[in-house]
Amino acid sequence: MNHNANTLSLYIHIPFCVSKCRYCDFYSVTYNESLSDAFIDALLVEWELAKTNYSLENASIATLYFGGGTPSMLSLKQWEKIIKNFVQKLPLLDGYEWSIECNPDSFSAETARLWLDSGVTRLTFGVQSLIDGELTTLGRRHSSRRALEVLCEPVVGRFASIGVDLMYGLPWQTLTSLDASLTRLLSITTIKHLSAYELSVAANTPFGRHAELLRLPEDDEIAKMSELVKQKATASGLTHYEISNYALSGHQCAHNKAYWRHKPYLGLGPAAHSYLPTRRFSNVKNVGEYIARISARTLASDFTETLDVAAVAREMVLLGLRTAEGISEDVFRSMTGLDFASMSRISLLDKFVHQGMLIHTSSYWRPTDKGMLFADAMARDLI
């Protein structure tokens, strides 16, 4: 399989947490030192296997992202091993972006200093709320006070970029409580990026199993919350560059943009997803099985599909309309061989422009603020 991927985004899934949050649908298990040591050994081998199997020997890494789970849970010694035996051997491009997800309860200034010295450029903190009652409901382990303490740590201010995650549409949340969290977070000058996600209740989570007990805000209240996030973020100088993401100039997440633009990315670790055009695949969702397979020097993927032109076109429409950048006719044509503004679509596109949902400039179709609210509906019609 030769992709000739000159540049690649690399995602590493650290599958460990202290405990599972009540809404969380991501794959994670309880942290345990010997299991996580074995996982780190497997990770180093998986990268070697992937390079050979996917012909990535000449690829350069443009973005590196450690997500989870809770990457900040790993010990200083474990991070030293990952950095020395893995990261320092990577062919990182000049100007690379290296992000690590952190939780306030497992954040350590000592580990952060190691990250800083090793070239980490971006930390993102799972704050979710600054209202203690909401944090308890979510099953988060940190208090609002701990989150604020961490964000104001001197070492945190030394990273090139700091982002925070916030959630809205939470059980018993009100516009007033969301406003309080937003106001406090956006007053912290180190914060350059905000990801604000509407809570979605997945069936196989504690929230999903007890959905009838949750008093969730009504749809019109959620629409007001989404509007409030936008107003407050914009007033703080952050640009709304994707449905759930806001950033100061120069602080957009390059790693996420690679996903949205259909650039090649490789995921390492259990449950990690990869896209090496035109194949999409993902690893087994079981850390024990992942370690066993990698130790036997076989890849750990358990799902793979080849995207045809129609599937690539569909995804480009879906993802493109979620971003402020929109859809480039030229990129669309080069990736699919099709015209985006084709005869079958042109009357719909004109209708959306007329309704103030899309703007057509040079060869781009961009959603307006109003359009972003209806991005998925527009995409469905256009697909």
Say yes or no to pLDDT of 3 above 70. no
* 271-289 pLDDT per residue, tens: 999 999 989 999 999 999 9
> What pLDDT, on a 0 to 100 scale, did the predictor assign at position 1?
32
Measuring CA to CA, how many Å separate 67 from each of 129, 146, 160, 270, 285?
Answer: 19, 21, 18, 12, 15
How far apart CA 367 and CA 376 sit, in angstroms, is 11
| Segment 196-216 mean pLDDT | 84
A 10 A CB-CB count for 177 gives 17
| Segment 152-160 mean pLDDT | 97
Supply the DSSP symbol for 365: E
| Segment 112-121 mean pLDDT | 98
* 333-378 pLDDT per residue, tens: 999 999 999 988 999 999 999 999 999 998 999 999 999 989 999 9
User: Confidence class of residue 159 from pLDDT cuts 50, 70 and 90?
Assistant: very high
134 in Cβ contact with 182 (< 8 Å): no
17 in Cβ contact with 70 (< 8 Å): yes
> What pLDDT, on a 0 to 100 scale, did the predictor assign at position 125?
98
Strands 161-168 and 364-367, sheet pairing: unpaired
Q: Is the pTM of this model over 0.85?
A: yes
Please calculate the CA angle 11-15-21 and round it to the nearest 5 degrees. 115
| Segment 72-96 mean pLDDT | 97
| Segment 123-131 mean pLDDT | 98
> What pLDDT, on a 0 to 100 scale, did the predictor assign at position 70?
96
How far apart CA 262 and CA 253 sit, in angstroms, is 15
* 296-342 pLDDT per residue, tens: 999 999 999 999 999 999 999 999 999 999 999 999 999 999 999 99
How far apart CA 341 and CA 343 sit, in angstroms, is 7
> What pLDDT, on a 0 to 100 scale, did the predictor assign at position 23?
82
In this predicted structure, which of 10-14, 254-258, 317-321, 343-347 has the lowest mean pLDDT?
A: 343-347
Q: Which two tokens stand for residue 311?
A: 């599937």
| Segment 33-45 mean pLDDT | 97
Give percent of the chain above pLDDT 90.
88
A 10 A CB-CB count for 297 gives 10
The residues facing 8 across adjacent strands are 61
7 in Cβ contact with 93 (< 8 Å): yes
Q: Which two tokens stand for residue 179?
A: 């406003």
> What pLDDT, on a 0 to 100 scale, did the predictor assign at position 2?
37
